[in-house]
Amino acid sequence: MGYNVAVVGATGAVGEELFRVIEEYKIPVKKMVPLASARSVGKEIEFAGKIYDVKELTCDVFEEEDIEIAFFSAGGSVSAKFAECAAKAGAVVIDNTSYFRMKEDVPLVVPEVNPEDIALWKKTGIIANPNCSTIQMVLALKPLHDEFGIKRVDVATYQATSGAGKKGMEELMEQNRAVFNFKLEEEVKNRKAFAHQIALNVIPHIDSFMDNGYTKEEMKMVNETNKIMHSNIAVSATCVRVPVLRSHSEDVCIHCEKEVDVDRAREVLDAFEDVEVMDDIKHNVYPMPIISTDTDITYVGRIRKDLFDDKILHLWVVADQVRVGAATNAVRIAKKWIEMEGDK
Ligand code: A2P
């Protein structure tokens, strides 16, 4: 009993987390096949107390291994080349990259928000996992949209280095070390993940710039939010990289159709699946990356009404980018897919 599962990008930051979350969420696994580039052949990974050899990703491996569920987390170009191989071999592909997200026939799913869209997977065999900043934002927006009707959202993100994968986290750690050895200037010359020094700095630039002056990361938040929520909300985002290892934070300003009520906002947020209100300013309690890291909860705090407009609500949303923003959302999709479409 169980499924033959492949993890593409098995040696990456999200790939490694996927093994832990698949086990924690008790996805029934008959066979686990970790896949990465030829560079990683010979490496081993541990899953559910057993050691597995990493295999090279090829188009044929999905058919050869009779894969039924394939998680992809190795970057857009890898998904572009290999996801359809997996789908053709009969697997459901759960893709963590941006490659398929806005394609019309591919569902883009946050299971707490639009689980019904999973049923559309049959069209292409692929289900897309949204951008990490978008996932945690829509988890907070959905209950508020149902209650107050959201017209516009202005968001500024404070995104951790984990969003750039292992090399992003390593770059921050190496630069932090160099600060204390008085070698920062030299170390910054070795940078690969970020356009500028990340230690002791913030960088208002994630992904590449577009002709409209926004970055691709910012446009993902605009377009993906409305695809997931089937809405027409005006979204304006500024995405910023900060020297944090894991967990993204967001300052979200929400313009509603109706007058907002802060107590009711707290109630509906707290009642929403996988969201927790953490908001006790008298005791300096609010969400922070050190609280959300290694959890599956999207934390919301600093909930307050605008000083000048009764229809505007402000909040602070924090979640673990590697889990909520990637691995956990992907595994939650798999779990729902098994409930809805699975045969075992
Ligand atoms: P590898 O370690 O063999 O390069 P991260 O997001 O942490 O940077 O991880 C990226 C993941 O994607 C790694 O597991 C990496 O494997 C994998 N990957 C990158 N390029 C390819 C490729 N061309 N084919 C297969 N896997 C790839």
Statement: residue 201 has pLDDT above 80? yes
Cα 124 to middle of ligand 1, angstroms: 24
Say what percent of the chain tops pLDDT 70: 100
Contact 233, 151 (CB under 8 A): yes
Q: Mark whether 132 is an active-site residue.
A: yes
- What pLDDT does residue 22 have? 98
At residue 238, does pLDDT exceed 90? yes
Q: What band does 239 get if pLDDT is binned at 50, 70 and 90?
A: very high
| Arithmetic mean of pLDDT, 181-207 | 97
Q: What is the pLDDT of residues 271-301, one digit of tens each?
A: 999 999 999 999 999 999 999 999 999 999 9
Averaged pLDDT for residues 253-268: 98
* Pocket-forming residues, ligand 1, beta carbon under 6 Å: 9-13, 15, 36-37, 39-40, 57, 74-75, 78, 165-167
* Mean pLDDT, residues 158-164 taken together: 98
Write the pLDDT tens digit of every residue in 38-86.
999 999 999 999 999 999 999 999 999 999 999 999 999 999 999 999 9
Q: Is the pLDDT of residue 344 over 90?
A: no
In the residue annotation, 85 being an active-site residue is answered as no
How far apart are the C-alpha atoms of 257 and 235, rounded to whole Å? 15
CA distances from 47 to 254, 264, 316 (A): 41, 43, 35
Tokens for 160? 């951790």
Q: Is the per-residue pLDDT at 232 higher than 90?
A: yes
List the alpha helices (DSSP H) in the chain: 13-24, 61-64, 76-88, 132-148, 165-180, 184-188, 216-229, 262-271, 289-292, 328-341
| From 85, 145, 239, 248, active-site residue | 248
**Cα 49 from Cα 145, distance rounded (Å):** 43
Gap from CA of 241 to ligand 1 centroid (Å):
22
Q: Mean pLDDT over residues 198-216, rounded?
A: 98
Question: Looking at residues 242-258, what average pLDDT do you find?
Answer: 98
Q: Whose CA is nearest to atom 8 of ligand 1?
A: 165
Rounded-to-integer distance, Cα 92 and Cα 301, Å: 36
Give the pLDDT of residue 270.
98
Can you give the pLDDT at residue 335? 98
Closest CA to 254 of 329, 204, 297, 304: 304
Q: Residue 180's pLDDT is what? A: 95
Q: What CA dihedral angle connects 197, 201, 202 and 207, to 10 degrees?
A: 10
* Tens-digit pLDDT profile for residues 79-138: 999 999 999 999 999 999 999 999 999 999 999 999 999 999 999 999 999 999 999 999
As a whole number, the mean pLDDT across the chain is 98
Residues 265, 269: Cα–Cα separation, whole Å:
6
Q: Whose CA is nearest to atom 12 of ligand 1?
A: 74
- What's the pLDDT score for residue 126? 98
CA of 75 to the centre of ligand 1 (A): 7
Q: Which residues pair with 215 in a beta bridge?
A: 209
φ, ψ of residue 99 to 5 degrees: the values are -55, -45
DSSP string covering 277-322: E--BGGGTB---HHHHTT-SPEEEEEEEE-SS-TTEEEEEEEE-TT
Determine the distance separating the centroid of ligand 1 and the alpha carbon of 246, expressed in angstroms. Answer: 19
Residues facing residue 301 across a β-bridge: 316
HSE (CB half, 13 Å, CA atoms) of 94? 30
